[in-house]
Amino acid sequence: MSKQNQWIVGVNAVASSIENDADHVREVLVEAGSKNPRLQEIEENARRKGIDVRRVSAQALDGVGGQVRHQGVAARYAAAQTWAEGELPGLVEAAEGKALLLVLDGVQDPHNLGACLRSAAAAGVTAVVIPKDKSAPVNATVRKTSAGAADRIPVVAVTNLSRCLRELQKLGVWIYGLAGEADTSLYSLDLRGNVALVLGGEADGLRRLTREHCDGLVRIPMPGEIESLNVSVAAGVTLFEAVRQRQG
């Protein structure tokens, strides 16, 4: 895992980092004079875990939050930001035939990526795979939108997505890509074994090479008049069909 210092902002993201990964939280900034009880709770929890807390002005928080709404709190975080590509086989093998992977082929909006990570964490995925060069990075916006999910699940950034899919197939993972024009319905698949679900980016969907490395293309049936879903909604629908089958 590669590590780097960064600021994360927002009540849920900071509370989650303190609760789930306190060892990597270097300090917490809380807006002075705020009456928000959640901020008081975060401050108490941070101090209890030995994390430095500073009360600062809203302007100081604006400076570290950038364009992201900070909600009166920020944390300087030495995050385990992404897992190394070489760690993916071990994650699949540890799942003992029940690996569930979400592969995002070029999701470039950080809010969409964060929402996908949130759905993935709720579904208990083994890992989320993203390409290094065609994806939003796991930044402060992604962390805030994911409501802490970015700290709870392995996010693996890979150099060559097609090669990664080939390696997953060698490990016994079935790879299914979502495409609106596909003939096969998502609901006709058996999603109970080792499965990777591949979704394309906002603009172009699945890239050609990615499609060619899928074992099959499937669609989410949509009887309404809208022809496509937001990628984070599609990820949630797809992952929770796998969850439904696995609990059945």
Asked which of 58, 81, 104 is the last residue of a domain, the reply is: 81
Query: Does the annotation list 229 as a binding residue?
Result: yes
Q: Are residues 40 and 57 in the same domain?
A: yes
Question: What pLDDT shows up at residue 140?
Answer: 67
Question: What pLDDT shows up at residue 79?
Answer: 55
Q: Are residues 74 and 159 in the same domain?
A: no
Asked which of 63, 81, 99 is the last residue of a domain, the reply is: 81
Q: How many CB atoms lie within 10 A of CB 221?
A: 9
Q: Are residues 179 and 90 in the same domain?
A: yes
Q: Are residues 87 and 60 in the same domain?
A: no
Question: What pLDDT shows up at residue 62?
Answer: 87
Q: What is the CATH number of the domain that holds 179?
A: 3.40.1280.10
Question: What pLDDT shows up at residue 3?
Answer: 47
Number of domains present in the structure of the chain: 2
144-168 as b/e, with b when 16 or more CB fall inside 10 Å?
A: bbbbbbbbbbbbbbbeebbebbebb
Query: Does the annotation list 114 as a binding residue?
Result: no
Question: What pLDDT shows up at residue 52?
Answer: 94
Q: What is the CATH number of the domain that holds 9?
A: 3.30.1330.30
Alpha helices in the chain (DSSP H): 11-21, 37-48, 58-65, 88-94, 110-123, 140-145, 161-170, 208-212, 231-247
Question: What pLDDT shows up at residue 218?
Answer: 96
Q: Are residues 112 and 55 in the same domain?
A: no
For residue 123, what are the contacts with CB-CB under 8 A and spacing of at least 6?
100, 236, 239, 240, 242, 243
Domain that holds residue 38: 2-81
Spacing of C-alpha 52 from chain mean position:
28
Question: What pLDDT shows up at residue 174?
Answer: 98
Give me the residues of the chain with pLDDT under 70, please.
1-5, 67-68, 79-82, 140, 248
Question: What pLDDT shows up at residue 202?
Answer: 79
| Three-class DSSP category at 15 | helix
Asked which of 81, 107, 131 is the last residue of a domain, the reply is: 81
| Closest by Cα among 98, 93, 94 to 171 | 93
Q: Are residues 15 and 74 in the same domain?
A: yes
Q: Are residues 124 and 221 in the same domain?
A: yes
Query: Does the annotation list 200 as a binding residue?
Result: yes
What's the CA gap between 129 and 83, in Å, rounded?
10
Question: What pLDDT shows up at residue 17?
Answer: 83
Q: Are residues 64 and 99 in the same domain?
A: no
Q: Are residues 37 and 102 in the same domain?
A: no
